[in-house]
Amino acid sequence: MRILLGVSGGIAAYKVPSVLRALREDGHAVRVIPTRAALDFVGRATWEALSGEPVTTSVFDGTESVDHVRLGREAELVVVAPATADLLARAAAGIADDLLTATLLTVTCPVVLAPAMHTEMWLHPATQRNVATLRERGVHVIDPAVGRLTGADSGPGRMPEPHQIVDVALAAAGASGATDRDGGDLQGLQIAISAGGTREPLDPVRFLGNRSSGRQGVALAATAAARGAQVRLVAANVDSSVLGVVPDGVQITSVETTAELQEAMLEAAASADVVVMAAAVADFRPAQTRTEKTKKHADGSVESLELVQNPDILAGLVSGRREGQIIVGFAAETGDADGSVLDHGRAKARRKGADLLAVNAVGADVGFGDVPNEVHLLDASGSDLGAGGGTKDDVAHVVWDAVVRLLSSRSGSETPTVSTSAAGRLSG
Ligand code: CTP
């Protein structure tokens, strides 16, 4: 695929060579178009060396080939990272005072913008209006992440991580992009994924919940979409900054409680080829939800809380599974006196009966090595199908690679279609 990578003048530009590298390693031809200010952060030589293509900033360079028109016509995907407040404003207004903004006016392919700026600039009504205008025109503007900004400040405005930008961009490019990247090996599949953690209300202001951010489920959704699947994401209390990297085209249903998650997943599973339960589900809920705020007694004591068990959604999905449907569960385990992480994982795999259970170690007792997040994949009998890991995206690809192998073996194909980019991720 021919990709234009625009870079505008923000400090986050220093991370964008990683975006360029990832796109190149996936086999795409990438032409970088920085703004003049962007070159103050990362120089022309870096972009030229990493892209293998000439780098120009002005419409007066390359006039013999009318670059802004030619590049725009040839492009199959445009990614701008970081997109500063100024770049968003110029793009929204249709101003064309450099090669990047002039090219944005000539392209007809998908355009993905990854904003990065201080929180005040992001939240300013002018910027929000510009983002709304661009979105109305079909431009995919990724919500910035919440986190540390240039100075001591932190808040919404941080550029999403390079791998997230790449996933969103390739998913936005649609099936053709996915085909180039991963063989589009999930194309034609409907996949339902749960993410986040359920909350059980005690009263109007309190709930029982857990710390799940939803990032693993969101990574599963983004990577599945990038590999060509039609994805439905059921998000339990996932922050909008985390959901911001979910590509267009992924249908999101937001839920709060286990009962709501169960209803949404049962509905999504009815037409899904693959179902993944990545959400952390509250095992118990209060027997009663009060309509008024629970008060302390005059002596400072509180009534004890009666809990009732929630349904096991995964077990229900397994018992009601459609023919041929693949069901995947996740289990975060710690080792203890009764057994290792894998012992507990194997017992859970047999108990749950899912086709795949992705088991990872959590807490101080990390039993699987020192990569950020390593999973062992177990089948329904508890047999180890291999391990892999790294980032949440890497873990997601490990899961999809296993799903692809399972589908291939079921269809009797002699040469399982394991994606090339995923080759080597799973070592068993
Ligand atoms: N799960 C579910 N419904 C529940 C609890 C868990 O669907 N009520 C799913 C999770 O989404 C996950 C898998 O089951 O895919 C394992 O979750 P985990 O919390 O590890 O399992 P539990 O059955 O709750 O076991 P434990 O006793 O270890 O808490």
Give me the pLDDT at residue 81, please.
98
Lookup: tokens for 159: 């550029």
Q: Which helix (H) or strand (E) holds 123?
A: helix 119-123
In whole angstroms, give the CA distance from residue 200 to residue 206: 9
Residues 6+ positions from 62 with CB-CB distance below 8 Å: 54, 56
Strand duo 284-286 + 140-141: pairing: unpaired
Give me the pLDDT at residue 372, please.
62
Ligand 1: residue whose CA is nearest its atom 4 = 312
> Which atom of ligand 1 lies at the shortest distance from residue 330's CA?
15
Give me the pLDDT at residue 394, please.
84
Angle at 61 between CA 60 and CA 66, to 5 degrees: 75
CA of 263 to the centre of ligand 1 (A): 16
Domain with CATH 3.40.50.1950 in the chain: 2-175
Give me the pLDDT at residue 302, please.
84
Q: Could you confirm whether 310 is annotated as catalytic?
A: no
> Which atom of ligand 1 lies at the shortest distance from residue 310's CA?
8
For residue 83, list its beta bridge partners. Answer: 115
Give me the pLDDT at residue 294, please.
87
Half-sphere exposure in the Cβ direction for 225 (13 Å, CA): 27
What stretches of 16-107 adopt beta strand conformation (E)?
Answer: 29-34, 77-83
CA of 279 to the centre of ligand 1 (A): 9
Lookup: tokens for 199: 């909350």
> Which atom of ligand 1 lies at the shortest distance from residue 344's CA?
28
Q: What is the DSSP letter of 294?
A: P
Ligand 1: residue whose CA is nearest its atom 22 = 283
In whole angstroms, give the CA distance from residue 34 to residue 57: 6
Lookup: tokens for 67: 């670059």
Residues 6+ positions from 33 with CB-CB distance below 8 Å: 4, 5, 6, 7, 55, 56, 57, 71, 99, 100, 103
Contact assessment for residue 157 and residue 118, using Cβ atoms and an 8 Å cutoff: yes
Which residue among 130, 210, 237, 310 is the active-site one?
210
* Alpha helices by DSSP H, 194-257: 215-226, 240-243
CA of 214 to the centre of ligand 1 (A): 15
Domain with CATH 3.40.50.10300 in the chain: 180-427
Please name the fold of domain 2-175: Rossmann fold (3.40.50)
In whole angstroms, give the CA distance from residue 366 to residue 354: 24
CA of 307 to the centre of ligand 1 (A): 17
* Cis previous bond, 286, omega within 30: no
Contact assessment for residue 84 and residue 9, using Cβ atoms and an 8 Å cutoff: yes
In whole angstroms, give the CA distance from residue 299 to residue 141: 54
Residues within a 6 A CB radius of ligand 1:
277, 279, 281, 283, 310, 312-314, 329-331
In whole angstroms, give the CA distance from residue 278 to residue 238: 12
Residues 6+ positions from 343 with CB-CB distance below 8 Å: 335
- Tell me which residue of 184, 188, 190, 189 sits closest to 227, measured CA to CA: 184
CA of 189 to the centre of ligand 1 (A): 25
Give me the pLDDT at residue 423, please.
33
From 212, 277, 318, 355, the mutation candidate for ligand 1 (largest count of ligand atoms within 8 A of CB) is 277
> Which atom of ligand 1 lies at the shortest distance from residue 351's CA?
23
> Which atom of ligand 1 lies at the shortest distance from residue 280's CA?
11
Give me the pLDDT at residue 424, please.
34
* Alpha helices by DSSP H, 210-335: 215-226, 240-243, 258-269, 313-319
Domain 180-427 is in which class? Answer: alpha beta
Q: Counting beta carbons within 10 angstroms of the beta carbon of residue 323, is it exposed (0 to 12), middle (13 to 18) or buried (19 or more)?
A: exposed
CA of 332 to the centre of ligand 1 (A): 9
Read off φ and ψ for residue 200, nearest 5 degrees.
Answer: -115, 115
From 210, 285, 312, the mutation candidate for ligand 1 (largest count of ligand atoms within 8 A of CB) is 312
Give me the pLDDT at residue 183, please.
54
Angle at 133 between CA 129 and CA 135, to 5 degrees: 115
- Write out the chain's pLDDT in tens, 428 residues: 999 999 999 999 999 999 999 999 988 999 999 999 999 999 999 999 999 999 999 888 777 666 778 888 899 999 999 999 999 999 999 999 999 999 999 998 999 999 999 999 999 999 999 999 999 888 999 999 887 777 777 788 999 999 989 988 988 886 334 443 445 899 999 999 999 999 999 999 999 999 899 999 999 999 999 899 999 999 999 998 889 889 888 999 999 999 999 999 999 999 999 999 999 999 999 999 999 998 888 898 888 899 999 999 999 999 999 999 999 999 988 888 898 889 999 999 999 999 999 998 876 444 344 456 788 999 999 998 888 877 888 889 899 999 999 998 887 654 333 333 333 334 33
From 314, 328, 336, the mutation candidate for ligand 1 (largest count of ligand atoms within 8 A of CB) is 314
Ligand 1: residue whose CA is nearest its atom 17 = 331
Q: Which helix (H) or strand (E) holds 351?
A: helix 341-352
